[in-house]
Chain A
């Protein structure tokens, strides 16, 4: 049955892998000492993380004044980075849950790392709303809990509160979904590990997985249900993040297009980040046979689609401003394109709208270095999108007397670098302690495609 499909659908795993090859290849990084490249990457990331820790410590000890913000621009790098990281955190759940529901088998190569990336990115994101507060030690006041102050509740009308719920829900569901998907693989790792503390940890983490049909059945049911539960979150989280802006009165923020616009942007940036990491990982961790050009090609197509949606959103904003007859709105968009921050705007447009257009060409999609560079552009462009939305809307709002500019301070830059440090430190640790590809799932996908080689292995066994 599968034979006629073979030429049409290129195999998802190349290199004539057997089932045990797959297990071996994916588990290997967990079982050997890290190579020099990993150490270099890890120490670099850790240095950035430490830089960030020092910056955050200084800022919390001294005051938000250590940032470049002012009376007019009350949010800058903080919320830009927050939305950026939340956006990055979108692809994981999209790839795992949505593509799972759509039965896209190719997702198996990337879903695990994408989910890990999601979790880490949401953690990075979560830091910023926390530290951007003037008094972060009172952050628990964001939580509606019974208290002796009246009780004094939170303001359920505030989008920031919705954010608290949206982000924490998303983090929780994503973590559970990721963990549930990990369970069979953790069992595999457990089985391969020599007795000792490592084995004990994996034994605990795999929740006594026994590989029986009943376990598999329950596992798959739970996974499907969680996928169904996670899917709406992909849309809700960024919808709510967008409402931080959309429900305000500031021209450039106050716009109904924001929820779909932000969701598309988030998926776009998340996919780009996944692809960036995948391209590095397949090289560094020699996973070329698992993360193939087919995967890259499919990701590129998705990014292209999202890039077009984002481009449409940008132009729609301009049209809305023009058509609204609202002079304040019109001015904000004129100011974005031609005002003092026009360099940021045009960086955003070139990176997010023009760069992905190259993915129309198969030759570009199959040339991995080019793809890598383009994904980097998109990552940069999506960061600038948030910067443009936040800073250019705020810096010249209603009354010209209050117009001001914004330049980030070194503390902000260090905090931003620190968030990347945190991201890569955690990701590198993840690569060392957990299987970066869903072994159980890819076996299912690879099995279908590997009929000829299966024959060969049977012969091998006979011999």
Chain B
């Protein structure tokens, strides 16, 4: 159009005739009317016309359920508010967990509100509907159903097990194979050999006076860590009246969380476990007057006196001692059984009559399946609850074998490695959407109740399998039927005498029932099955140990950013796996932290390249790598943190979070070996920085700048049981105490409550459950790897971890550190805007909307617990559903820190005022305290003379951090007591 015509049009259009005007007016009116008549957007936020019973908007309700984050089956209370599960808490009455809940359990909501979960079934990778998927699957199963193999992780649910059996019964050649990504198969196999039944015993640490663990990380990840931690901690509390403790020895190659908490930790390579156990078996057999196992003894890496001391201690506590190992070496497990048998621990600390079902993995079966797959004899492969191919070595040949299977079905919640190979993906519900049950330990059955309608068009495995067996019932109906028939009639209490509906309601409400179970019939112990191990380790080869990270375990939680950013309790590293290597070995190899190492196997083509982490206390011949990394889809976290000019992605382009170390698993003797010798290391000229939340790892100051006489800081005070017996206050440094002399008169006396906290460092294992509890409760943002690397993680509660001493006798101290709510708070005086003030109840309060962000308070905080919002931390829409509406989401430029869960305190006070019953000690539980598996944290009113917290603060073991500065913190710590006879090896903490 040229200029002229444009002008013409313009002049035309401006001259509107009356007719044109009426035309236009009529058109716009009719348009408006028409658009008004159109379908309105679907209104999703409707008020309750009929409010569901008991649901009060804005009020949190707890539902008893079972955590299925791992197979340990801890009880949990799901805090649901306005139809949204928000906060997971431990269930104090639960017979297994007894009130604690680990980091994984706490982090479940973020896994629920995850937009990467599948929203519908997939058929050949394409979204499909259930009808067509079901039709296709049933048809194919009918035609191809000659050799059906169903792989699951450990199934503790009796209902699911029954459904699986029912499903597989349809086929002539069907097998259920249990595959655990980290298997304990050797323990079960060893019991089959020595006791005639393949079972996993239930270890009772409550009654164990002497615990000797060969590598078993029972406080971190092994079998049932929450249960074990609680039981272990029950014997870790010396009092003035009863100054006794259990004696815990850990022998391990890597540094595990459990090793950190042991009284005595030996560095022992996994290939030496057998030798040391053989020596112990011989010594103990001698003490017991029994014949030792056959075979010869090889030279022990541990001195004869120490071995003899250990065996005497074990023998002295026979019947109340416990020897355990996570070794997948069958011979080693046989020796463990022999020792435990000789010590008379079976039926006392080891229950095989009511065994555990928490790890049922059968490696031999899996190996057999792999062979079948490779030979092409499997016609249908179904996998539930585990990422089959991700967690197995020899990935390429396995996937090509699976590609030949005519029917491959995955029940994965997201497109994991195996799901990407499957013809059909039938996504399971998230744990919080599911209904189900669990019997982790024989006779202790708990229920899993759904706490919200499924977010996507998913379906539980229970329903899928039952549908394919021709039963159209819902999961709820299946569960109820199973309980009506099998569970409730066996309940111990009077519940069973009531009607089914009534007893079912009681069971659902309390979340678990205890059954009358027949004692498992176990054969006589077969001593002849046990032989001494003589195989000597090869000196110049490295041994690789694969382990699971505390708070992540395996690949199933790799999509949870809370857990990825949870610092490893030992290394304090986030967002990565790495090769732990001892300082000596690193020096020989010429690598420092972050230098990439290529780990190669001698006999196989397996290799992996990962950055090195120099780990004090690591055995010089042992390197260790965490499993559960390199998970498909974790490249989604590339841009998780703030994006800015110098910001680096959490995951580099084309990479994943960490690398999958499953390729290094050795299959030997029908068992998955997580330790393998014959490893060689090569330094690769590349550095990949690791993001750790702690950069300096000891209370020992750097030697060249330590002031003489003050080489060790006393932030964590320690003593030994021998010293404690002589003087309950042993371990306290000599210092001036100001607490009774104040410069200024006490002009802010409080008549109401004065909140305080006490943390028993002897109970605290450093497991970091509290950290996620705090993160979930207080809307603490995830910041990504680069920000952690820049020392800007936002966790309100951190666990300081200090390595003391060297190599063979390294002591590790853990100290949860959060705002100390100081009486003389240094942060309060320096804030120019009065954004941090002291409450009448002794809390140090941060007023977010008054804060201008000078950061002076953080600088002046002696405990460095304040966290600054350096950026706006991005969050996707679905994740915001996990936010706690009671806690403000902080904006950029604002300081934040532990509030001692002031929202819970206020809740408690409001509830008390409503009910008219005054607040009692223990009514208010703060998030970190609630979830602590060992109940190391006590919170309460320090003005209440009978409160637990005041009692704890008056214990002789109580100390306050930096007490000599008169900050008057409201948090006390109970001194670490190690069960040792010798005087403490650190001179600095006491004089």
A residues lining the B interface (CB < 8 Å): 58, 62-66, 68-72, 74-75, 129, 132-136, 138-139, 141-142, 152-155, 157-161, 164, 244, 247-250, 327, 330-331, 334-335, 338-339, 394, 396-405, 409-411
Contacts and interface: CB of A to CB of B under 8 A. Distances in A.
Contacts of A65: 642, 644, 787, 792, 870-871
A68 to B, nearest CB: 8
A24 B440 CA distance: 99
Given A66-B644, A75-B855, A399 B871 contact: no
Nearest to B858: A74
Contacts of B850: 141, 152
A334 B706 contact: yes
Given A397-B864, A410-B645, 15 more contacts: A63-B642, A65-B644, A70-B791, A74-B856, A134-B892, A134-B893, A135-B892, A249-B860, A327-B709, A334-B706, A399-B800, A401-B715, A401-B802, A403-B696, A410-B646
B701 interface: yes
A141 B866 CA distance: 21
A397 B870 CA distance: 21
19 contacts: A62-B644, A63-B871, A65-B787, A72-B791, A134-B893, A138-B852, A158-B830, A159-B830, A244-B856, A247-B830, A331-B706, A331-B707, A398-B962, A399-B863, A399-B864, A400-B802, A402-B863, A405-B791, A410-B645
B817 interface: yes
Nearest to B867: A71
Contacts of B815: 401
B508 interface: no
From B696, B817, B834, B859, name the one whose CB has the most chain A CB atoms within 10 angstroms.
B859
A70 B792 contact: yes
B710 A64 contact: no
Nearest to B862: A398
A152 B834 contact: yes
Nearest to B833: A141
A339 B833 contact: no
Interface in B834-887: 834, 850-856, 858-860, 862-864, 866-872
7 interchain residue pairs of minimum CB distance: A134-B853, A134-B893, A65-B870, A327-B710, A401-B800, A70-B791, A74-B855
A403 B695 contact: yes
A394 B858 CA distance: 10
Given A58-B645, A133-B852, A334-B707, A398 B830 contact: no
A176 to B, nearest CB: 26
Contact of A161 (B832, B858, B859, B961): B832
Interface residues of B, number: 67
B710 A249 contact: no
Interface of B: 642, 644-646, 694-699, 701-702, 704-707, 709-710, 713, 715, 787, 790-793, 798, 800-802, 815, 817, 826, 829-834, 850-856, 858-860, 862-864, 866-872, 891-895, 961-962, 965, 967
B224 to A, nearest CB: 30
A74 B868 contact: yes
Contacts of A58: 645
A244 B868 CA distance: 19
B902 to A, nearest CB: 20
Contact of B894 (A69, A74, A134): A134
A414 to B, nearest CB: 10
Contacts of B791: 70-72, 404-405
Given A63-B872, A134-B851, A338-B705, A154 B833 contact: yes
A71 B706 contact: no
Nearest to A162: B832
Which of B705, B858, B867: most chain A CB closer than 10 A?
A: B705
A155 B832 contact: yes
Contacts of B860: 248-250
Contacts of A247: 829-830
A59 to B, nearest CB: 10
A396 B705 CA distance: 12
A248 B709 CA distance: 25
Contacts of B862: 249-250, 397-399
A237 B99 CA distance: 58
Nearest to B793: A71
Contacts of B965: 249
Give the one of A71, A141, A409 with max B CB within 10 A: A71
Contacts of B834: 152-155
A331 B705 CA distance: 7
B832 A74 contact: no
Nearest to A321: B707
B698 A64 contact: no
A116 B17 CA distance: 70
Nearest to A342: B705
B contact patch SS: loop
A129 B855 CA distance: 11
A249 B855 contact: no
Contacts of A339: 702, 705
Given A64-B868, A134-B894, A331-B706, A160 B856 contact: yes
B95 to A, nearest CB: 37
Contacts of B817: 399, 401
Contacts of A142: 832-833, 852
Contacts of A66: 644-646
Given A66-B645, A75-B859, A249-B862, A400 B701 contact: yes
A154 B833 CA distance: 5
A164 B829 CA distance: 16
B864 to A, nearest CB: 4
The residue in B713, B798, B831, B855 that gathers the most chain A C-beta atoms within 10 A of its C-beta is B855
B367 to A, nearest CB: 45
Contact of A400 (B698, B704, B891): B698
Given A75-B859, A157-B829, A247-B830, A134 B869 contact: yes
Contacts of A410: 645-646
A327 B714 CA distance: 11
A64 B644 CA distance: 11
A297 B962 CA distance: 51
Nearest to B713: A400
Contacts of A400: 696-699, 701, 713, 715, 802
Nearest to B961: A399
Nearest to B800: A401
A331 B710 contact: yes
Nearest to A409: B646
A267 B815 CA distance: 46
Nearest to B647: A65
Contacts of A68: 790
A158 B831 contact: yes
Contacts of A62: 642, 644-645, 871
A248 B858 CA distance: 11
B696 A401 contact: yes
A456 to B, nearest CB: 62
A26 B44 CA distance: 78
A64 B893 contact: yes
Contacts of A248: 826, 830, 856, 859-860
Given A70-B790, A331-B701, A400-B696, A141 B642 contact: no
Contacts of A132: 854-855
A63 B853 CA distance: 11
A71 B853 contact: no
Contacts of B695: 403-405
Nearest to B870: A65
Contacts of B706: 331, 334
A164 B830 contact: no
Nearest to B709: A327
Given A64-B893, A250-B860, A155 B833 contact: yes
Nearest to B866: A71
A142 B853 CA distance: 11
Contacts of B698: 400
A246 B833 CA distance: 19
A439 B159 CA distance: 100
Contacts of A399: 713, 715, 800, 817, 862-864, 961
